[in-house]
Amino acid sequence: MHQVEIATTQETLLDTPEMVLNMGPQHPSTHGVLRVILRLDGETVIDLDCDIGYLHRGMEKIAENRMYTQIAPYWDRLDYIAAVSNGLVWVETVEQMMGLQVPPRAHYLRTILTELNRIASHLLWLATHALDIGAVTVLLWALREREEILKIFERQFGARLTCHAWRVGGMPNDAYDDFSTDVRRFVNNFPKRLDEYETVLSENRIWLSRTVGIGIISAEDAIAIGLSGPALRGSGVAWDVRKARPYAAYADMDFDIPLGENGDTYDRYLVRLEEMRQSRRIVDQALVKLPDGPVNAKLPKIVKPPVGDYYHSIEGPKGEIGCYLVSDGTAQPWRVRVRPPSFINLQALKQMCVGHLVADVVAIIGTLDIVLGEIDR
C-alpha cells in the first residue's frame, strides 16, 4: 500500500524543538545546590530530572567511625535549618536502644525547643517560599521572628544554627535563668506576627493565583511516594509522628493536626502556617507544665547500646526524620541510616511539576521545603 506521509502543522510551520534548561546547582531558588534538569516546551515543563549529591559529605559513613556521643553534632548538619529537631532523633534512638529513662524535665525542654525549632524552620520556609514567588518583604519579616528564636537558642545552646542541642540521656545543661521569660515573650508576640503574614499573603490575589491548583498531589500518590510532614498533611492525610508514636513529652500535649484538602501549594502553605500556631500552643502548654528536677539520666562511662537494630523517628519540620541504627555492641555504631524527609519529599517534584511553567517549578520546590544538607547527607 502506498504510504502517504502527512506532515503535521507543527512540522510544516514552525520548528519548535524542546529546550533543556539546566536549573542549578547555582540558581537563586533551588534552595541550595539542587540541580534540576528541565525539558521545556516553550516555558511548559515536559519532563524534569533532579541531580543531587553536590553537598554529599558522607555523614552515614562518618558515623560508623565515631563514638555514639560524638555523632550527635553531625546530625545538626543534615537539616541545618532544624538542627535541634535533627539532634533529637539521634539521641532518642540511642536512649531508647539502651533503655535509658530520661527525666521528665528534659523531655519537656526538648518539646519546647524542638517546637521552637519547628517554628523557626517554618518561618525560613515561609521566607524563601514567598521570596521565590516574589514577595520579598515577607522574607525579612519572617527572619525577624526567626531571630527571636535563634536568640533563645544562642543563650541556651551557645550556638544559633548548629546547636548540638542534646546529649544522650538528657541535656548538656538546664534551661538558662530567663528561659521561660524569653520563651513566654515570644509566645505572646508571635500570633500577631503570623496574622501580619496572613494579611500580606493569604488573601492576596497574586499569591492565590500563584499557589492555588499548583503542584497538586493526591493523598494516594502522596502515600505511595512516601511523603511526610506538611507535604503529606496538605493532601489530607492525618499522619503526624507526634500523634502516632508520641516521643518526648508530646503525649501530654493538647494540639491539633492541620489538614489540607486539595494537596496544592496553597494548602501546604496554610497547613504550615497553622502548624506554627499549633507549635506555639504546644510551647505554651509545655512551659506551664514544665516540671522541676534533673535534666540528665545516669549514663555509663561509655555509651554502648546492646547488639541489635533499632528504628526511631520523630516529626521534624520537613517531615518524618528517622534513624535506623545497627549496633554490634561496641562503642561505635555498625551502621547508621538516616531517613531524610526532604530526600523523599523531593521525589514528588516531577509528578508535581510536569505540565506547569518554569515559574511554578520554583514555587513547587519552595513548597516542598527541601534542605540539601539532608538530601545529600
Partner 1 sequence: MLLFAPIDFLNDLLLKFFSGDTINFVIWPLIQIGLVVTLVALWVAYATYLERKISAFMQARLGPMRVGPWGLLQPIADGLKLLTKEDFIPEKADRWIFFFAPYIAVAAAFIVFSVIPFGPDWAVITDVNIGLLLVLAVSSVGVLALILAGWSSNSKYSLLGALRSSAQMVSYEVGMALALIGALMFARTLSLSSIVAAQQSDSIWFVVYQPVGFLLFLVAGIAENNRAPFDLPEAESELVAGFHTEYSGFRWSLFFMAEYAAMVVVASVATTVYLGGWYFPFVYRLTEANGYHNLYVIVSILVFLIKASIILYLYFWLRWTLPRFRYDQLMDIGWKWLIPASLINIGWSAFTVFLAQALDISKVLHTIEHVGNRLNLTAAGKVFMIVMGLIGLIITGAVLSRINWRSRDFHLKTQRRNIRLVDVPKGKPAVS
Distance CA 190, CA 178 (A): 18
Task: Please list the residues that pair with 335 across neighbouring strands.
Answer: 326
Using CB under 8 A, pick the residue from 16, 154, 206, 289 that binds partner 1.
206
Task: Give the range of 6-14, 100-108, 115-123, 199-207 binding partner 1 by CB under 8 A.
Answer: 199-207
State which of positions 18-77 bind partner 1 (CB under 8 A). 19, 21-22, 27-29, 43
272-309 in b/e form (b: 16+ CB < 10 A) is bbbbbebbbbbbbbbbeebeeeebbbeeeeebbbeeee
User: Rounded to the nearest whole angstrom, what is the least distance from the CB of residue 262 to partner 1 in the complex?
Assistant: 8
Three-class DSSP category at 331: coil
Number of CB atoms found within 10 A of residue 42's CB: 11
Using CB under 8 A, pick the residue from 39, 155, 164, 245 that binds partner 1.
245
State which of positions 347-366 bind partner 1 (CB under 8 A). 357-360, 362
Mask of contacts with partner 1, 128-167, x by CB under 8 A? --xxxxxxxx-xxx--x-----------------------
Residue among 332, 301, 297 at smallest CA distance from 96: 297
Number of CB atoms found within 10 A of residue 202's CB: 15
218: DSSP letter: -
- 188 versus 209: smaller Cβ distance to partner 1: 209
Q: Is 247 in the site for partner 1 (CB under 8 A)?
A: no
User: Rounded to the nearest whole angstrom, what is the least distance from the CB of residue 190 to partner 1 in the complex?
Assistant: 15
Using CB under 8 A, pick the residue from 203, 288, 292, 300 that binds partner 1.
203
Cis amide bond preceding 333, omega within 30: no
- Positions in the binding site for partner 1 (CB under 8 A): 19, 21-22, 27-29, 43, 130-137, 139-141, 144, 200-210, 212-213, 219-220, 223, 236-240, 243-246, 254-262, 266-267, 270-271, 274, 357-360, 362
